[in-house]
Amino acid sequence: MCAALAAQAQTLERAEALRKAHNYEEANNAFRALVKANPKNAEYRVRWGRLFLERFNRADAASLFQEALAIQKDNAGALLGLALVAADSYESRAVELAEKALASDPKLVEARELLARLALEDSDPKKAIEEADKALAISPRAFDAMAIHGTVDWLDGKNDSPWFDKILAADAHYGQGYALAGHISVLNRRYEEGIQFYRKAVEVQPDLWSARSQLGVTLMRLGEETEAREQLAECYANHFRDDITTNTLTLIDSYKNFIIDKSGNIVLKLHKKEADLLRPYFESELKRALATYEKKYKLQLTRPVQLEVYPDHEDFAVRTMGMPGLGGVLGVTFGYVVAMDSPSGRPPGSFHWASTMWHELSHVYVLAATNHRAPRWFTEGMAVYEETAVSPEWGDRLDPHTLSAIKNKKLLPVAELDRGFVRPTYPEQVVVSYFQAGRICGYIAKRWGYDKLLAMMHDFATEASTPAVIRKELGMEPADFDRDFLATIDAETHKIIEGFDEWRTQVKAAVALSHAGKHQEVIERTTPIRDVYPEFVEQGNVYELRAEAFVALNNKAAATTELEGYAKAGGRDPAALKKLATLLEEAGRPVDAAKALDRITYIYPMDPEVHQHLGTLWLDQGNREGAIREFTAALASKPIDLAASHYNLARAYRSADRPADAKEQLVLALEAAPGFRPAQRMLLELSR
């Protein structure tokens, strides 16, 4: 029996030794053999699971931890393993699992350190310190607990914290402490400082590949692509090939397909397949946004802003990998670098690119003004607020999930709102938190004035907490603020919430009637509920249902009114807006028709027909520059009828008294179609 135990111990030791020597394949084989020989041993499965976790395979790691729990339901190591898996993806149950692990083994210092880290990720330094102290009470060599202390000191502005030196004094090659500080820095969007911490981490422990990978990723986020590639390539060469490392390297490689335009204080990075089409729109909107924000925030940026636009959503997604609360986002800001989806990267109408751009650019200013010290809720709230400040038709609408959260009292207190972004407790909480943060900023601007928001922003720059800033600037306790704010929200949404169930029932019935072609009944069914939930402009909205019915009943005037309501409420479906433009044109309202088409260029500027049509309308209305822009866009969107597109641009140039440019376009039109009569006629006229 003693011999058997010895053999067992040797095997576990060997497996762990192989793991420590980065010989993962052999370690995996050793663990597999160990588990096979000892099917009832929970601990072996836990150790094997930790190997999987270390090698970026969370799914198999979790399975092994679950198997261990099936053998021993309160196995502390397995519970901790599951907590680590959950923590990796910012799941709220990480805390619960870590606490269960501690309940099973109160001396499990790693679980206590994890709780400290989770608290700090949730912007709760007080709890983080408490947990770190408990860990240190268990083990004076709890290095990560020391790092938590050091990080909290740093967050408090104490740059001479002794904690990191204490770690190095005990172990001169322990880089994980600095890596933890780097992680928290990045979560707080203090990327420059994150890079500094990660640099220290790899300086003391050069083979800490996870830290080197994060160093590369963070450098890349700030546009430092050359060094980012070097760091990541080194990780890759040393077999550290997690998703973020490989995907970021792939993304950097794909940059050869992008065109970079530098102009004044902007750097615009567009994919070459759509650069010609998008550049005029993005450039002008970018300049307009920067000029507006410079005045609003009373701040002049000291560095150029770089905007990256990704036609492939998967490329954009690499930019947000490993970041909490960014699943499904359309744009992301890293200091002066903004990355976003291209309008071509999503189905038409699914997002408003200009609104997204203004949102992200607001971040650039708020982060610059506060030196990245504003809490998440304030940064996002300002950005959401700014979207509708540009135009009431922009920004996201009040969606059913948010209505449900309001109804069920799920909005968070302002002092805890960051939690809704970082560690949501229900799937829609991030979206709800965006809405709430935006409404809070809107509420403050309305009640106390916009300058109060600026004052709060400057307070946050001094690292003041949310409660402190609310007390100072709004003169009330956070709880009182929450009470007043929620009362306002309740008053604003009361009617919708009360009528929501009936509205939903009737809309569902109206959709069925519409499919059955019973148009008069659609009108009758939707008339009583038409104004119950006017902000709903998604698929199945009342405006489009009624407009379609009115068109079928040959009442185009009423259909036009419905679609105008849809556009005003923020409706974004290009097909519906095109329909509106057609109806307006038929009604002899070409100026309004042009406005309807112009809206589409801020949503989905990829449709050549929209550009041709808008260009023609604007040319007729004497908007020559607008017509030139639209016909140029039509050409850039690779139209089927190339000759007609060149000809239209020639018409616009001629109208703008640019005959040489017009002639050049005519030659191009006739090169494609030598017998194109209108182009021939104009060429003759210009040549006489």
Partner 1 sequence: MKRLLACFLLTVLSAPAATYYVTIAGLGGEPDYEQHFEMWASDIEKVLKASGGEAKIETLKGPAATRFAIGALLEKIAGEATAQDVLVLMLIGHGTYDGVEYKINLPGPDLSATDLAKLLDKVHASRQLVVNMTSASGGSIEALKHSNRVLITATKAGSEKNATVFTRYWLEALRDPAADTDKNDTISALEAFRYAQQKTANFYETQKRLATEHALLEDTGAGTGVRTPSADNGNGLRAAAFPLLRLGSMQAAASNPEKRKLLDKKEDLEQQIDKLKYEKAAIPAAEYKRSLEALLLELAKTQEELDK
Nearer to partner 1, 449 or 517 (CB): 517
CA distance 62 to 332: 30
CA distance 440 to 482: 9
CA distance 494 to 492: 6
Helices (H) and strands (E) in the chain, counts: 35, 5
Applying CB under 8 A, does 346 fall inside the site for partner 1? yes
Tokens for 643?
Answer: 């000759």
Pairing mode of beta strands 266-271, 331-334: unpaired
Nearer to partner 1, 82 or 643 (CB): 643
Applying CB under 8 A, does 681 fall inside the site for partner 1? yes
Determine the interface stretch with partner 1 among 266-274, 279-287, 342-350, 376-384 (rule: CB under 8 A).
Answer: 342-350
Tokens for 423?
Answer: 């560690």
User: Least CB distance from residue 276 to partner 1, whole Å?
Assistant: 17
Nearer to partner 1, 299 or 672 (CB): 672
Applying CB under 8 A, does 670 fall inside the site for partner 1? yes
What residues contact residue 66 under an 8 Å CB cut-off, 6+ apart? Answer: 78, 82
User: Least CB distance from residue 601 to partner 1, whole Å?
Assistant: 15
Total number of residues that touch partner 1 (CB under 8 A): 25
Question: Of the candidates 431, 486, 656, 672, which one interacts with partner 1 according to CB under 8 A?
Answer: 672
Q: Quick one: how far is CA 570 from the chain centroid?
A: 20
Applying CB under 8 A, does 497 fall inside the site for partner 1? no
Question: Of the candidates 99, 642, 655, 661, which one interacts with partner 1 according to CB under 8 A?
Answer: 642
Where in 76-135 is the site for partner 1 (CB under 8 A)? none
- Per-residue contact string for residues 391-410; x = within reach of partner 1 by CB under 8 A: --------------------
Phi-psi region of 242 (alpha: psi -120 to 50; beta: other; left: phi over 0): beta
Applying CB under 8 A, does 259 fall inside the site for partner 1? no
Best CA proximity match to 245, nearest among 273, 214, 268, 221 = 214
Determine the interface stretch with partner 1 among 291-299, 341-349, 538-546, 576-584 (rule: CB under 8 A).
Answer: 341-349
Determine the interface stretch with partner 1 among 75-83, 207-215, 524-532, 676-684 (rule: CB under 8 A).
Answer: 676-684
CA distance 417 to 122: 10
Q: Quick one: how far is CA 448 from the chain centroid?
A: 29
Nearer to partner 1, 120 or 666 (CB): 666
What residues contact residue 468 under an 8 Å CB cut-off, 6+ apart? Answer: 459
Question: Of the candidates 35, 68, 367, 644, which one interacts with partner 1 according to CB under 8 A?
Answer: 644
Nearer to partner 1, 228 or 577 (CB): 577
Nearer to partner 1, 184 or 683 (CB): 683
Nearer to partner 1, 292 or 680 (CB): 680
Crossing angle of helices 642-655 and 659-672, in 10° steps, is 170
Nearer to partner 1, 266 or 672 (CB): 672
Question: Of the candidates 35, 51, 510, 643, which one interacts with partner 1 according to CB under 8 A?
Answer: 643
Q: How many CB atoms lie within 10 A of CB 609?
A: 12
Nearer to partner 1, 64 or 278 (CB): 278
What residues contact residue 178 under an 8 Å CB cut-off, 6+ apart? Answer: 147, 164, 197, 198, 200, 201, 204, 211
Applying CB under 8 A, does 675 fall inside the site for partner 1? yes
Nearer to partner 1, 107 or 313 (CB): 313
Nearer to partner 1, 264 or 347 (CB): 347
Where in 582-621 is the site for partner 1 (CB under 8 A)? 606
Nearer to partner 1, 17 or 684 (CB): 684
Applying CB under 8 A, does 639 fall inside the site for partner 1? yes
CA distance 81 to 102: 12
Question: Of the candidates 96, 105, 393, 641, which one interacts with partner 1 according to CB under 8 A?
Answer: 641
Nearer to partner 1, 43 or 641 (CB): 641
CA distance 500 to 488: 19
Q: How many CB atoms lie within 10 A of CB 556?
A: 16
Nearer to partner 1, 560 or 637 (CB): 637
Applying CB under 8 A, does 684 fall inside the site for partner 1? yes
Nearer to partner 1, 620 or 671 (CB): 671
CA distance 507 to 545: 9
Query: Residue 292: is it exposed, middle or buried by C-beta count within 10 angstroms (0-12/13-18/19+)?
Result: middle
CA distance 182 to 185: 5
User: Least CB distance from residue 347 to partner 1, whole Å?
Assistant: 5
Determine the interface stretch with partner 1 among 272-280, 368-376, 476-484, 642-650 (rule: CB under 8 A).
Answer: 642-650
Question: Of the candidates 206, 280, 324, 348, which one interacts with partner 1 according to CB under 8 A?
Answer: 348
User: Least CB distance from residue 670 to partner 1, whole Å?
Assistant: 5
User: Least CB distance from residue 531 to partner 1, whole Å?
Assistant: 32
User: Least CB distance from residue 679 to partner 1, whole Å?
Assistant: 8
Nearer to partner 1, 100 or 646 (CB): 646
User: Least CB distance from residue 630 to partner 1, whole Å?
Assistant: 16
Q: Is 532 helix (H, G, I), strand (E, B) or coil?
A: coil
Q: How many CB atoms lie within 10 A of CB 281?
A: 18
Question: Of the candidates 157, 264, 328, 347, which one interacts with partner 1 according to CB under 8 A?
Answer: 347
Spatial contact of 586 and 556, defined as CB atoms under 8 Å apart: yes
CB-based burial, 461-498: b 16+ in 10 Å, e otherwise: beebebeebbbebbeeebeebbeebeebbeeebeebee
Applying CB under 8 A, does 312 fall inside the site for partner 1? no
Phi-psi region of 305 (alpha: psi -120 to 50; beta: other; left: phi over 0): beta
Best CA proximity match to 536, nearest among 401, 397, 391, 403 = 397
Where in 649-668 is the site for partner 1 (CB under 8 A)? 667
For residue 260, what are the β-bridge partners? 269
Applying CB under 8 A, does 511 fall inside the site for partner 1? no
CA distance 430 to 423: 9
Nearer to partner 1, 181 or 643 (CB): 643
Q: Is the dihedral of CA 203, 209, 212, 214 positive or negative?
A: negative
Q: Is the dihedral of CA 417, 431, 428, 440 positive or negative?
A: positive
Tokens for 329?
Answer: 């986002």
Element (H, E) at 587: none
Determine the interface stretch with partner 1 among 240-248, 356-364, 418-426, 669-677 (rule: CB under 8 A).
Answer: 669-677
What residues contact residue 359 under an 8 Å CB cut-off, 6+ apart? Answer: 331, 383, 384, 386, 387
User: Least CB distance from residue 512 to partner 1, whole Å?
Assistant: 16
CA distance 394 to 63: 45
User: Least CB distance from residue 345 to partner 1, whole Å?
Assistant: 9
User: Least CB distance from residue 571 to partner 1, whole Å?
Assistant: 18
User: Least CB distance from residue 644 to partner 1, whole Å?
Assistant: 6
Determine the interface stretch with partner 1 among 42-50, 128-136, 392-400, 673-681 (rule: CB under 8 A).
Answer: 673-681
Question: Which residues of the shown chain bind partner 1 in the complex (CB under 8 A)?
Answer: 346-348, 606, 639-644, 667, 670-677, 679-681, 683-684, 687
